Structure 1
Amino acid sequence: MSDLLALDFMRQALVAAVLVGLAAPLVGTFLVQRRMSLIGDGIGHVALAGVAVGILTGSMPVLTALLAAVAAAIGVELIRAAGRTSGDIALAVMFYGGIALGVVLISKSSATSPANLTGYLFGAILTTSRTDIVVFAVLAVVVVATTWLLRHRFFAVANDEEYARAAGMPVRGYNIALSVLTAVTVVVSMRVVGLLLITALMIIPNASAQIVSRSFRSSMLWASLIGVLSSVGGVVVSFYAETPSGGTIVVLAIAAFLVISVIGAAVGRARRAAHERAERHEHEHGPACGHPAIAHEDHVDYLHDGHRHAPHHDHYDEHDGHGAHDEGAHDEQDDQRAEEVSR
């Protein structure tokens, strides 16, 4: 690991990986809620055209890609809000027209090559310059700060758009803001993961986070943590294995999802089995049973074999303090906060 950190370009690559791993899952949280998980792919297609314009004009491809991606994001939201039956066709024309135009324009440039095109499509983190890092850092800070500050408003709009509109919230404004944040995230990620793979880093860590989290807030934190670990781990593995960084990062994110899914299923089965055993036990609890009594809302739980048992009709319910009751309480708090914000 010391040999990796001794290289200047690898230190830059790791910084870029942290920025992308933190920002992409945060934005992806709300895309999943709105069932727009694949929108990043479409914006990435248009961003490629922006990259091509930057290469042909000799300007910074990052900035021209940003302009193209933001314009596409706003166009997507306006088309979606119009609700016309031809909206899907318009989006398809925009997205596939963008990637086609990008490929054609890049082929006409003498300053690039097929390898460079592959770098933009699938990531080439080792070619990230110091200037790119500065631009990415500024954009990533804007994405993370804005998403975190507006998370309750984004949650309210994504959770029930009609209610948010009836409550007087500027729904279209928040939707456009989220679309723009998605576009910025795509551009930040294009040299790390690639324009065709960025959606995976937005969505897969969120899928993993939903398995282990108990509230919307914790889901965002877990998604960002998994995203950072996948990004940094992918860069390290790609350095030693000599594999493309983007593909390696996504493979690690998928591997993490599979491991978390298996562990989550096993834990769920163990909890259900423990719950069934707790309800079947024949011991009668009461003031003189010898087990500690713990006040729990409007009743009393008895601590027995590491579990809190509460009499319920002809059986006992298990209250371990970390189950569905607490999860529902956390989610209810998030919903209440979102409702308060919408007012």
Structure 2
Amino acid sequence: MSWGDIGNALFGGMSRYGDILALVQNSVWAGAVLGIVGGLIGVFVMQRDMAFAVHGISELSFAGAAAALLLGVDVVTGSIVGSLIAAGLIGWLGARARDRNSIIGVLMPFGLGIGILCISLYNGRSANRFSLLTGQIVSVQSDQLTVLIVLSAIVLVGLLLIWRPLNFDSLDPQSAAARGVPTTVVSFAFMILLGIVVAVAVHIIGALLVLSLLVTPAAAAMRVSTGPIAVPLLAAGFGVTAAVGGILLAIAGTLPVSPYITTLSFLIYLVCRVIDGVRRRGSVEA
């Protein structure tokens, strides 16, 4: 093989990669937006020990999306309705951790069962059914990206409005209540915002993979930092890295995008955990 053949293969491959990247630029933007919002709200999910709640909400969101698919209405709307119902029930009835986990344990199989029933009754394209579980981030349309950006902006504004009382309530709920913080209102508002994020994430990355962007980046960030500003920024950065990096790797290979996103997210967490372990060992030895 001559140097000319090697150059043609190299630059030809880069050209094809650029052409594919241009076709999925909406997906890249969607991944970046989800990474930022998921990372930021994930910090409070971790602080409030609500990773299990995220999974529970995703199951009801999946049920709502599947019902909408069966009825021939907007899937995103169905997903949001399912998420908000789950978030509202958890926020209203699950003030205590024990009650919350019980409610989630009841809602999860119910939502999954309803979703599977609706998918079984659906006679349309099988790809539409499968995307509810694993997402369709490689085929995000312009209108879907617009909805994602608008909903994410609403969530970000909502988070900023309740950031300080939510942070206080997440770290020390007893002291927050004693200081007059409306903890019930703050908790319910947070659950609604979380429901919106989960609904959007389910539509884009699927019900089975929500935790990879709403929990893992924040868990990784909290392993390497404790700063009130550093942790959210790191979580958002890790979320963007996993989502966008997964898409960029996927379009260069032949595997679906989901394994890349989940693997990158896990590797980031693993590296952060190793760094935390080394740092703790060093402090003990010192």
Bin of the TM-score, shorter chain as denominator length: 0.7 to 0.9
Q: Is the deviation greater in 153-162 or in 4-13?
A: 4-13
Q: Is the deviation greater in 14-23 or in 144-153?
A: 144-153
Specify the alignment match of 2:81 in structure 1: 67
Q: Is the deviation greater in 48-57 or in 70-79?
A: 48-57
Are 1:40 and 2:40 counterparts? no
Give the alignment partner of residue 259 of structure 1, picking from 250, 264, 271.
271
Specify the alignment match of 1:93 in structure 2: 106
Give the alignment partner of residue 124 of structure 1, picking from 136, 149, 159.
136
Aligned residues: 272
Quote the Cα distance in structure 1 between the aligned partners of 2:125 and 2:67: 12
Shift of the 263–159 alpha-carbon distance from structure 1 to 2, 3 Å rule, reads closer
TM-score normalised by L of structure 2: 0.87
Quote the Cα distance in structure 2 between the aligned partners of 1:253 and 1:25: 11
Are 1:187 and 2:199 counterparts? yes
Q: Is the deviation greater in 134-143 or in 185-194?
A: 185-194
Letter in 1 for 2:91: E
1:3-152, aligned counterparts within 5 Å? 3-7=16-20, 8-81=22-95, 83=96, 88-113=101-126, 115-152=127-164
Quote the Cα distance in structure 1 between the aligned partners of 2:80 and 2:18: 30
1:180 deviation in Å? 1.1
**DSSP 3-state at the match of 1:153:** helix
Shift of the 87–136 alpha-carbon distance from structure 1 to 2, 3 Å rule, reads closer
Quote the Cα distance in structure 1 between the aligned partners of 2:276 and 2:94: 36
| Contact 1:123/1:244 (8 A) holds in 2 | no
Residue identity over aligned pairs, in percent, reads: 26
| Contact 2:79/2:203 (8 A) holds in 1 | no
Quote the Cα distance in structure 2 between the aligned partners of 1:84 and 1:38: 11
1:160-309, aligned counterparts within 5 Å? 160-266=172-278, 276=286
TM-score normalised by L of structure 1: 0.73
| Contact 2:70/2:122 (8 A) holds in 1 | yes
Quote the Cα distance in structure 2 between the aligned partners of 1:104 and 1:241: 34
Specify the alignment match of 1:317 in structure 2: none
1:262 deviation in Å? 2.7
Q: Residues 77-106 of structure 1, C-alpha deviation per residue, up to 9 Å, x if partnerless?
A: 11112x597764443232211111111112
| Contact 2:76/2:203 (8 A) holds in 1 | no
Letter in 2 for 1:96: P
Letter in 1 for 2:245: G
C-alpha RMSD of the superposition: 2.3
| Contact 2:131/2:206 (8 A) holds in 1 | yes
Letter in 2 for 1:54: A
Quote the Cα distance in structure 1 between the aligned partners of 2:260 and 2:188: 32
Larger Rg: 1
1:33 deviation in Å? 0.7
**DSSP 3-state at the match of 2:204:** coil
| Contact 2:242/2:264 (8 A) holds in 1 | yes
1:247 deviation in Å? 2.7
Letter in 2 for 1:162: Q
Quote the Cα distance in structure 2 between the aligned partners of 1:152 and 1:166: 15
| Contact 1:193/1:247 (8 A) holds in 2 | no
| Contact 2:53/2:101 (8 A) holds in 1 | no
Residue segments in structure 1 that go unaligned for 5+ positions in a row: 277-343
Quote the Cα distance in structure 2 between the aligned partners of 1:223 and 1:122: 22
Quote the Cα distance in structure 2 between the aligned partners of 1:36 and 1:43: 11
Q: Residues 92-133 of structure 1, C-alpha deviation per residue, up to 9 Å, x if partnerless?
A: 2322111111111122122242x3322221222123222211
1:28 deviation in Å? 1.0
Shift of the 255–87 alpha-carbon distance from structure 1 to 2, 3 Å rule, reads closer
More strand by share: 1
Quote the Cα distance in structure 1 between the aligned partners of 2:163 and 2:16: 40
1:242 deviation in Å? 2.3
Give the alignment partner of residue 159 of structure 1, picking from 171, 189, 194.
171
**DSSP 3-state at the match of 1:216:** coil
1:245 deviation in Å? 1.9
Shift of the 86–192 alpha-carbon distance from structure 1 to 2, 3 Å rule, reads closer
